[in-house]
Amino acid sequence: MVMKKLKLRTVILLLVCTVVLLSLFITDLLVSRSINENSMRYEEEKALTTARIVADSDIVQNGLLNEEADVVQEYANGVQESADVLFVVVLDMNGIRYSHPNAELIGEPFEGGDEADVFLNQEYSSISEGTLTTSLRSFTPVLNEAGEQIGAVVVGISLEHIQRIIDQNHKNILFGSLLGLIAGLIGALFIARYIKKTLFGLEPEQIASILGERDAMLQSVHEGIIAVDQKGEITLVNKSARKLLKKAGLFEEPIGKEIAAFLPMTGLERVLKTGKAELGDELTINEMTFIVNRAPLMVESNVVGAISTLRDKTEVKELAQQLTGVKLYVEALRSQSHEVKNNLHVILGMLRIGAYDQLKEFILKLVDHKDHEISQIQHVQDPVLSGFLLGKLSYAKECGVTLTIKSDTPIRKPAKAETIHEVITILGNVINNSIEAVEGSPFKKVEVNLSIQRDTLQMKVKDTGPGIETEQLKEIFSKGYSTKGDGRGYGLANVKESIDELSGHLTIDTVVGAGTTIMIDIPYQTEENDGD
């Protein structure tokens, strides 16, 4: 059975408890040993000090010289009580006791077998069993004024007393260790709670799963993604971004580098400072153009980084071409379907009332109208452009606007397929603006002239609208500017962008209240010229 994974709080508690217990155990061993040694050394020093005091006493020295055992006994008992030792025994040079806690043993030889060296004028300590109990005994010689040894002093401290001191010290250590363990547990609880809060209440395996999903998601998206931290250092570059950067000639490893040094034109430093998103901008890297979006990364209203998405503008253009073609096809079908349906209703009505002469005349007019529309674009040899212009003729008719298309020269297919997309973008937006401009005019006319002169496609769109004010002329090509409400103002901005892309030229001739003429010239290499 697989053991259930422990929660982060449990792991932290176990880890802290283990570390604290191990530390306290090692500390207890080391400190206890040190305390035992210090306690034994302290008691030994205490016994030796007491023995020296007794040996230096005039009472003891005179008592030994004058064989006054009762005087020595009285003094020794007083010292024993004040020093809190097991016994204080004074011996003469024959090892006969002059004092003892048991008065009956005074005058008897000393027992223990470890007293011989003290009569050789040596000072030392030993552990031995005497008449009372096993004890730590310190020996000191007694010297007269001439420096001659006249006896010895033995001070004993019970080993049981020493052990009680050691045990008490050990209990204090254990009590302190217990307090340390409790403090460690409380600290571990606070640390676990803090970490849990920092990790938004997620467990490590959940975080690992989220990070794995996040990385897989970022690496799988088609757009290139570059992220930087608060300092402007690059923290993330997904696979698509790496491919795009390599395509633009940047082969260095970007992770960890400052974005200002690696890609100074990305604008991410600006987003870090302002905290505002920037959408739909263009970025050129080594003559390769990208469509970029930038956004700040926010945590609790604080900017902690920034992220940018990159997409090759060529791909966007190709997609736009496909969408434009579909849209034009749909618009043309819708217009023609609507027109055919209306004409069929008229034909059906005439058949029901038997107006056959009028029906014949109506059908002839329809045929002439279609022939007229087709004749207007007969010089346009590019099928995409001709289909587009037919759609605009139908759209203008629906809007009640007379649209006239003239071609002074044959308009052949361009050498580059993407050129026709830019032409359609330019003409489509300008014609739509002109149709909208004449809707409120008494004479609703729009005229389009196309010609090719010296590898230049000349396009002129003239309308009978109200014209353009001088103040508006300064803003009409700005993205998002429009006098027709929100969500507009992108058509002429796209026109200018396409003209700049083709290195073309645009001129506006407008008269307020009389109309506007827009003239556009763009380089236009046809298939025949390209072949030459």
| Residue 198 CA: distances (Å) to CA of 193, 263, 301 | 9, 33, 16
Other beta carbons within 10 Å of 120: 8
Do the domain assignments include residue 204? no
Report the CATH number at residue 293: 3.30.450.20
Residue 149 sits in the same domain as residue 277: no
The torsion of the CA quartet 49, 53, 54, 60, rounded to 10 degrees, works out to 160
Do the domain assignments include residue 368? no
Band of residue 519 on the pLDDT scale cut at 50, 70, 90: very high
Average pLDDT for the chain: 78
Residue 159 sits in the same domain as residue 230: no
Residue 13 sits in the same domain as residue 150: yes
Residue 21 sits in the same domain as residue 160: yes
Higher pLDDT, 66 or 531: 66
Do the domain assignments include residue 333? no
The domain containing residue 258 runs over which residues?
222-313
Residue 67 sits in the same domain as residue 139: yes
Name the pairing type of β-strands 288-299 and 302-312.
Answer: antiparallel
Residue 152 sits in the same domain as residue 23: yes
**Which residue among 165, 192, 213 closes a domain?**
165
Band of residue 1 on the pLDDT scale cut at 50, 70, 90: very low
Residue 145 sits in the same domain as residue 234: no
CB neighbour list of residue 146: distance below 8 Å, 6 or more residues apart: none
Q: What does the pLDDT average to over 326-353?
A: 65
Torsion region of 255: left, alpha or beta (phi above 0 gives left; psi -120 to 50 gives alpha): beta
Burial of 439 (0-12, 13-18, 19+ CB in 10 A): exposed
Measured CA to CA, the distance from residue 28 to residue 21 in angstroms comes to 10
Residue 18 sits in the same domain as residue 139: yes
pLDDT tens string 211-234: 777 777 767 777 888 888 888 898
CB neighbour list of residue 53: distance below 8 Å, 6 or more residues apart: 79
Do the domain assignments include residue 366? no
**Which residue among 284, 313, 342 closes a domain?**
313
Do the domain assignments include residue 109? yes
Q: Name the helix (H) or strand (E) containing 524.
A: none
Q: Residue 311 corresponds to which amino acid?
A: R
Residue 160 sits in the same domain as residue 227: no
Do the domain assignments include residue 309? yes
Do the domain assignments include residue 147? yes
Candidate from 41-45, 65-69, 133-137 with smallest mean pLDDT? 133-137
**Of the ranges 103-107, 157-161, 412-416, 453-457, the best mean pLDDT one:** 453-457
Confidence check: pLDDT of 318 > 60: no
Band of residue 326 on the pLDDT scale cut at 50, 70, 90: low
Band of residue 3 on the pLDDT scale cut at 50, 70, 90: very low
Confidence at residue 2, expressed as pLDDT on a 0 to 100 scale: 40
The answer to whether 336 and 394 have CB atoms below 8 angstroms apart is yes
Measured CA to CA, the distance from residue 67 to residue 89 in angstroms comes to 15
Residue 146 sits in the same domain as residue 248: no
| Residue 241 CA: distances (Å) to CA of 220, 237, 246, 311 | 11, 6, 8, 9
**Which residue among 131, 149, 165 closes a domain?**
165
Six-digit token pair at 433? Answer: 């603006």
Do the domain assignments include residue 182? no
Confidence at residue 138, expressed as pLDDT on a 0 to 100 scale: 87
Residue 436 sits in the same domain as residue 506: yes
Q: What does the pLDDT average to over 129-153?
A: 81
Q: What does the pLDDT average to over 465-483?
A: 74
Measured CA to CA, the distance from residue 150 to residue 92 in angstroms comes to 6
Measured CA to CA, the distance from residue 234 to residue 480 in angstroms comes to 32
Report the CATH number at residue 429: 3.30.565.10
Residue 413 sits in the same domain as residue 504: yes
- Tell me how many domains the chain contains: 3
